[in-house]
Structure 1
Amino acid sequence: MLLALLALILAMGATMALQRAFVPKYALDLAGGTTVTLSPVTQSGAAPSQESLDLAVNIIRERVNGTGLSDADVAKSGDNIVISVPGAGTEAVVKLIGTTAELRFRQVLAVAPANAMPGKLPTAPATPVPSGSPSPTGSAKPSSTAKPSSTAKPAPTGTPAGRALSSALTAPTPAPSASGSGKPAKPSGGATPQPTAPSGQPADPASEDPFAGVDFTGVDPAVVEQFKKLDCTKKDRGQGAQDDPNKQFVACSDDGAAKYVLEKAAVKGTEVSGASSGVDSTTGEWVVSVNFKSQGASQFSQITGQITSAPQPRNQLAMVLDGVVISAPVIEEPIPGGQARISGSFTQKTAGDLANQLKYGALPLKFQQSSIEEVSSTLGSDQLQGGLLAGGIGLILVVLYSLLYYRGLGLVAVASLAVASILTYQAVVLLGHNANFRLSLPHIIGLIVSIGITADSFIVYFERMRDEMKEGRRSLRVAVEVAWVRARRTILIADAVMFIAALVLYFLAVGGVAGFAFAMGLTTLIDIAVVFLFTKPFVAALAKLSFFAKGHRLSGLDAERMSREPSDVRTTVPQEG
């Protein structure tokens, strides 16, 4: 058992070293962060309903603190929503919580370069390729498990948001170029699209009309005018727009390389049943998998079947997120099954953020940031020092009491507390690095107090062992085993009650309370591991030493302490020779 515990500690330590994670992540009060106030914007200008605000609060809370571990806080303040996110910069927070995450799948009707304007020739490379269409060497092939009817040609020049693929496809993604900005790098080799004639040949560059050759058949004239005047070189490119799914729509690509005329939405974001991020086993790139509900799966299969025989670019299916085209792959055959994938130059974080936005739903309102503040951690640092000092004093007192009362056995108590502290620290660091678990001041105090659970466990065991020896019929080695059989049931029952309480509190509470419940449940599990893997085997090993087996007066198991009788009629406790 002791070897198993040692292996566990070494494994967790090695994981910390490999991930270069040695310090826990702290919550808003200890690490600072960002506080954003969102003000709702309605089309009519009227105040939003409380139902829509409550729904928005729940969705934003799930986005920023879906596991309940990050200690992010989301609350209503009148008609506004105040969000506090620890350890995050302003840009990251605004991008995560401010978007509506409204996903649409629309057929592409027309495409032009981003800067194409009436009376102005667009600047474009000599041999452009429409965004989302394949290059001569960029065709995608189904994997060995793919269905014959599930193929598409994704763009080899993915944007940071990526390309949409069938879940059966495994087309490789070009390596991204180096980027030091902290944002996902865009793959090299991309090209800006230019208008194409109906025959598929590039329009005459010398033409005075930048839209010559663009087929606007079936497009509303008002939409055509809007398309011609749209300038996608602007920074926001329409991000966060609430497009009407029942009308044709004009949108920019996410990388700002092209602008599109799109048909009415074939599949709405409300038909998404779930989303998750992961690594493609074939290409090694991060992807986001999107699953559709039954109606959405049927609609997706239908639209991919309808546009396969259409001319370029109308054989492309654009995926629009918050009014921006994040992908527009060519569809060659119907894609049944109700699954699609978004792939491209994702990082683990950007893929996870997008999956959370899609999984936790679309905001019912559009918001604008009325105030953004960076929160300092100065006060929290002072409180942390005071809390650690109080915790240290408490632990010292527990250690002194254990040594004075249990003498030699007190060393087992001290060692058990030390092992529990090591496991707790390692678990908190690893959870912070991999699950975004953040420690607030109440969490830290809770962890320190919860170490007392471990103290309760070995006290139950020690007292049961001493009771067995006080009977005067058992040696130390026998008492260790008999007492363990009886004590472990009491220990497990007590820990089970504590863990159930933590579990209920975790699922019913939100914010910091849920994080505190998680910390309490974590220390309860660690207590079980320490008592079973360390305390009991360590006591059994000490029972073989003559210092304890013969009842030395400093062992805590001497005859005087083990006697149930007054000193003048004391019976002798059997000791081992």
Structure 2
Amino acid sequence: MYPAPPPAGPPPPATGVPRPDRTLVVVVAVLAGAALLGILACGGAAFLLRDRLLGDSRATTLTVEAVTADGSAPGRADLERTRDVLADRLAAAELDRPSVDIEGDRLVLRVGGTGHEDDLRSLAGTGELGFRRVLGAVADQGTGGATPSTPDQGPVPARDEVAAKLGPAYRLAETITTPGPLDPATVRGLAPFAALTPAEVAALPPDMRFRVPTVTCAQLTAWPVGGPATEPTVACDAADPPVKYLLDVVRVGSADVGNAEAKPNQTGQWIVAVSFTDAGQRRWTDLTRETAGAGSDNQVAVVLDNLVVSAPAVQGVITGDTEISGRFTRDRAMLLAAQIGSDPLPLVLRVVG
């Protein structure tokens, strides 16, 4: 979830697949059955909204513009629903003196005290949760990290239009069948991909986004909307350096989560306990059974919007609630629980200023 010490003993990686160096192996407690699940905490969920400190120097304020998924102006009912979801998240995170106000087509989030910029960024994300099988993982080849300075929420162009723009580079990318190191001449031929906007990258086939090394995590993460639940997608974690994942369809989603609660465990460490609905528990159990039997390809990604929050390595069938541990502080555990347990936002938020 957030940067953590090196792992004490990570689960076995898939053949030829790199693992981020700065991960942490944690254990999932199974309330029904004796299976264990090792979760690699890949960094804290972080979203692509910049914040501003306004007015009262003792408060942190974030102002965002709300739009619909197609970029049009929202109706009043959607604005009020978005305000209510944000207010619930701020309250669940137990931030000081939280408030969310509607000002035209904008929403103003405010909490008491300074230094809560990252907190508001996290809680203002859409918060759409998905559990996806990891089909592949490769180290990011970019140099700018996983978090760009601004999000891209422009319309996604047609794939043919992007292919025409790339020309020979697109045809070269179609010949790449596996991820990983390529010869220098091939990398030079793929250089035009690095100049694509995040919206243009979103138009590419998922396997191409994954295999082309000049498609970077900075580009992928700048597209804040997660891929369709019914289609494979590509997303990155928040490790340093980040890892790029090729992910299967969503098998367990937000509607399958019954509750997420931050609490200390028996050793006093803060964890996030996740319970599922009846239908969600069956889906989660089926997913862990399928993944545990996949040999070294035994990871499941917990994806929040377009960010891989953690990459579970399944070692057995999970038939009960799950505890996510990552040596969290109390505040970080509260934030993650608020994100996982919250309803998704009905509108897309764009920072103002």
TM-score bin (small chain): 0.5 to 0.7
Correspondence 1:386-401 to 2 at 5 A: none
Equivalent residue letter for 1:254? A
Residue-by-residue CA offset, 1:456-498 (whole Å, 9 max, x unaligned): xxxxxxxxxxxxxxxxxxxxxxxxxxxxxxxxxxxxxxxxxxx
- Using the TM superposition, give the Cα deviation of residue 39 of structure 1 relative to its aligned residue in structure 2, in angstroms: 0.7
Say if 2:338 is the partner of 1:353.
Answer: no
- Which of 226, 235, 249 aligns to 1:242? It is 226
- Which of 273, 278, 292 aligns to 2:258? It is 273
- Which of 78, 87, 92 aligns to 1:61? It is 87
Confirm or deny: 8 A CA contact 1:31 1:86 kept in the other structure. Answer: no
Confirm or deny: 8 A CA contact 1:290 1:340 kept in the other structure. Answer: yes
Higher strand share: 2
Q: Give distance in 1, aligned partners of 2:93 and 2:303.
A: 27
Corresponding residue number in structure 2 for 1:47? 73
Kindly tell me: are residues 341 and 49 of structure 1, through their superposed partners in 2, closer, same or farther at Cα, counting changes over 3 Å? Answer: farther
- Which of 33, 36, 40 aligns to 2:62? It is 36
Corresponding residue number in structure 2 for 1:306? 290
Q: Matched residue of 1:335: which SS?
A: coil
Equivalent residue letter for 2:255? T
| Higher RCO by CA contacts (8 Å cutoff, separation 6 or greater) | 2
Q: Matched residue of 1:100: which SS?
A: coil
Say if 2:266 is the partner of 1:316.
Answer: no
Confirm or deny: 8 A CA contact 1:279 1:286 kept in the other structure. Answer: yes
Confirm or deny: 8 A CA contact 2:83 2:107 kept in the other structure. Answer: yes
Corresponding residue number in structure 1 for 2:11? none
Q: Give distance in 2, aligned partners of 1:366 and 1:285.
A: 34
Corresponding residue number in structure 1 for 2:278? 294
Equivalent residue letter for 1:259? K
Corresponding residue number in structure 1 for 2:346? 364
- Using the TM superposition, give the Cα deviation of residue 83 of structure 1 relative to its aligned residue in structure 2, in angstroms: 1.9
- For normalisation by structure 2, the TM-score amounts to 0.62
Correspondence 1:82-481 to 2 at 5 A: 82-89=108-115, 91-115=117-141, 222-227=205-210, 228=212, 229-232=214-217, 234=218, 237-238=221-222, 240-255=224-239, 256-282=241-267, 284-313=268-297, 315-337=298-320, 339-371=321-353
- Using the TM superposition, give the Cα deviation of residue 60 of structure 1 relative to its aligned residue in structure 2, in angstroms: 1.0
Q: Give distance in 1, aligned partners of 2:317 and 2:280.
A: 14
Q: Give distance in 1, aligned partners of 2:93 and 2:65.
A: 25
Equivalent residue letter for 2:81? L
Q: Give distance in 2, aligned partners of 1:254 and 1:96.
A: 13
Equivalent residue letter for 1:308? A
Q: Give distance in 2, aligned partners of 1:77 and 1:336.
A: 46
- Using the TM superposition, give the Cα deviation of residue 36 of structure 1 relative to its aligned residue in structure 2, in angstroms: 2.0
- Using the TM superposition, give the Cα deviation of residue 238 of structure 1 relative to its aligned residue in structure 2, in angstroms: 4.1
- Using the TM superposition, give the Cα deviation of residue 369 of structure 1 relative to its aligned residue in structure 2, in angstroms: 1.1
- Using the TM superposition, give the Cα deviation of residue 297 of structure 1 relative to its aligned residue in structure 2, in angstroms: 0.7
Q: Give distance in 2, aligned partners of 1:80 and 1:236.
A: 26
Residue-by-residue CA offset, 1:401-446 (whole Å, 9 max, x unaligned): xxxxxxxxxxxxxxxxxxxxxxxxxxxxxxxxxxxxxxxxxxxxxx
Q: Give distance in 2, aligned partners of 1:279 and 1:100.
A: 27
Residue-by-residue CA offset, 1:377-402 (whole Å, 9 max, x unaligned): xxxxxxxxxxxxxxxxxxxxxxxxxx
Corresponding residue number in structure 2 for 1:190? none
Confirm or deny: 8 A CA contact 1:238 1:324 kept in the other structure. Answer: no
Q: Matched residue of 1:95: which SS?
A: helix
Confirm or deny: 8 A CA contact 2:59 2:110 kept in the other structure. Answer: yes
- The structure having more radius of gyration, on CA atoms, is 1
Q: Give distance in 2, aligned partners of 1:251 and 1:77.
A: 33
Confirm or deny: 8 A CA contact 2:93 2:335 kept in the other structure. Answer: no
Instruction: Name stretches of at least 5 consecutive residues in structure 1 with no aligned partner.
Output: 1-27, 117-121, 123-196, 211-219, 372-577
Supply the RMSD in Å over aligned alpha carbons: 3.3
Instruction: Name stretches of at least 5 consecutive residues in structure 2 with no aligned partner.
Output: 1-53, 144-176, 188-202
Kindly tell me: are residues 67 and 248 of structure 1, through their superposed partners in 2, closer, same or farther at Cα, counting changes over 3 Å? Answer: closer
- Using the TM superposition, give the Cα deviation of residue 43 of structure 1 relative to its aligned residue in structure 2, in angstroms: 2.9
Kindly tell me: are residues 66 and 307 of structure 1, through their superposed partners in 2, closer, same or farther at Cα, counting changes over 3 Å? Answer: closer
Q: Matched residue of 1:58: which SS?
A: helix
Equivalent residue letter for 2:325? S
Q: Matched residue of 1:328: which SS?
A: strand
Q: Give distance in 2, aligned partners of 1:370 and 1:31.
A: 19
- Using the TM superposition, give the Cα deviation of residue 241 of structure 1 relative to its aligned residue in structure 2, in angstroms: 2.7
- Using the TM superposition, give the Cα deviation of residue 291 of structure 1 relative to its aligned residue in structure 2, in angstroms: 1.1
Equivalent residue letter for 1:246? T
Q: Give distance in 2, aligned partners of 1:226 and 1:286.
A: 36
Residue-by-residue CA offset, 1:265-317 (whole Å, 9 max, x unaligned): 000112211111122324x432111111111111101111112222433x211
Kindly tell me: are residues 298 and 81 of structure 1, through their superposed partners in 2, closer, same or farther at Cα, counting changes over 3 Å? Answer: same
Q: Matched residue of 1:329: which SS?
A: strand
Equivalent residue letter for 1:75? D
Correspondence 1:506-521 to 2 at 5 A: none
Q: Give distance in 2, aligned partners of 1:36 and 1:254.
A: 22
- Using the TM superposition, give the Cα deviation of residue 249 of structure 1 relative to its aligned residue in structure 2, in angstroms: 0.8
Q: Matched residue of 1:344: which SS?
A: strand
Q: Give distance in 1, aligned partners of 2:93 and 2:261.
A: 14
Q: Matched residue of 2:90: which SS?
A: helix
Q: How many residues align?
A: 249
Q: Give distance in 2, aligned partners of 1:221 and 1:333.
A: 35
- For normalisation by structure 1, the TM-score amounts to 0.39
- Using the TM superposition, give the Cα deviation of residue 205 of structure 1 relative to its aligned residue in structure 2, in angstroms: 8.7
